[in-house]
Amino acid sequence: MRKIPLNDDEKRAKKRERWKKQFDNYPTYDDSNGRGSPEVWRKAVEKMLQGVNVDDELKLFGLTSLPKTLDELKKIWKAKMRSAHPDHGGDTALAQKINGAYKNLLKRYNNNTVVSRVSYKAPEQFHPAKAEHIEHEDFTKLWVDPRYINNNHIVEKKLDGSRYLLYLDENSRLLSRRISSVTKQYVDKTGNCPHLTKKIHYTLWGTILDGEVTHPLYEKSDATTSIMGCDPATAVQRQQKDGWLIYTVYDILKLKGVDLRNEPLSVRKQKLKTFLKELGTLLPIIEHPSFPSSYAKTLYHDVIAKDGEGVMLKDLRSVYGDGWYKVKKSVTQDVFIIGYKKTKSYTVKFGMYDLKGNIVELGSVPVPPSVLNEILKDMDSYLMKVIEIKAQEITKSGAFRHPRFIKFRNDKDASQCFDNFTK
């Protein structure tokens, strides 16, 4: 009985099924619901790196990239068909496969030249959405505040990784939210994570994801920044030794070339789920879990108990760039000014006395322009003045993480500021 040839959609479905089977033995690591483990995930990513790096259609023609013109592709196709055609002693199934691949590749040409869905010679770049910091003197009031705790808001664990936008296209890119002072472009860290920017099927090009790069074994950002902050060769070596970084995604800006930034978050979340299902296990990308805002108090205390950062509250009705609120743990501390640090502007170096009476430098903090202008008038007179700062946490080494200036403490003397944190 003659076999009916598959159409293009059926062929793509079969291809996705083959890719899915390849990784069925490697469950996605997602600590939120207990699927898999860091070790299993690391092995899965290592296996991925050994997988196919080029489109199957190109591989069938012995190519790693598309010929520049359609005429060149036609010559290669005709040569392949001459040897594969049954009339010349070839195989019918192989001839059908070559023809199907040729039809798919034809879609990537326009007026005899290759068409890219998004050009990254001049990358289309977006700034990641910013979250508003909720300041609540009493968090017990926040958990029942109807502005945030309602059916239109969700809550998510605040990740402690490195924030990046992942541009998926013919030449995928991983771009930081930090702008380079040299290039005036968002810092490109594509080379540090080659496994996140592997070749994907062209039908998924033109997609931009928002998320964080996190370490599969360590939740603190230090482990991630030690990889993302170095050169690409060193980054790859460290991941080969300790595990490949994971991309945890929580939003989508564009889907296959369609801009979604003006869509409400509820729609973007649904589009994201659909895209991730279509992507399958080709890339080590996991979706960040969301919960009803009524769960905010429980999640916050659970995160803090595990030495995490806090939670994010998000408005499902908001467009991209609005309606995000971060609720983080913080500590306040009285310290005194011991000097100044000159970078682009001045920051204030602060310290405390240790138990032996020696001054210990503990970090530096930026101050508001109005305060800085007053300090610059007579910098020496502000030395040893007490200030109140707020930080995300005080680390075991005594460092203040992400300190912020709050106010001067004119009612307090430097001799009252003792360091009980450093050993």
- Give per-residue pLDDT as tens, 115-147: 443 333 334 667 777 778 776 555 678 888 888
**Residue with the larger pLDDT of the pair 210 and 88:** 210
Whether the pLDDT of residue 246 is over 70: the answer is yes
8-114 to CATH, choices 2.40.50.140, 3.40.50.620, 1.10.3720.10, 1.10.287.110? 1.10.287.110
Lowest mean pLDDT among 46-50, 161-165, 364-368, 415-419: 46-50
CATH 2.60.40.2890 fits 132-328, yes or no: no
Tally of helices (H runs) and strands (E runs) in the chain: 11, 21
What is residue 117's DSSP assignment?
S
Average pLDDT score over the chain: 79
Residue 31 confidence (pLDDT) above 50: no
Strand partners, 391: 331
Q: Where are the domains of the chain?
A: 8-114, 132-328, 331-416
pLDDT class for 43, splitting at 50, 70, 90? low
Dihedral over Cα of 164, 174, 279, 42: its sign = negative
Q: Which residues on neighbouring strands pair with residue 273, listed in sequence order?
A: none
- Per-residue DSSP letter, 11: H
The pLDDT, as a whole number, for residue 92 is 83
Nearest to 105 by CA among 185, 20, 203: 203
pLDDT tens string 388-409: 988 877 776 777 878 889 889 9
Confidence check: pLDDT of 219 > 80: no
SS3 278: helix
Least confident of 25-29, 239-243, 359-363, 367-371: 25-29
Nearest to 48, CA basis, from 285, 312, 232:
285
CA distance 220 to 308: 8
* Least confident segment among 32-46, 127-141, 241-255: 32-46
Q: Does domain 331-416 have CATH number 2.40.50.140?
A: yes
Count of other CB atoms within 10 angstroms of residue 367:
20
**Helix or strand holding residue 249 (H, E):** strand 246-255
Q: The whole model's pTM is what?
A: 0.60
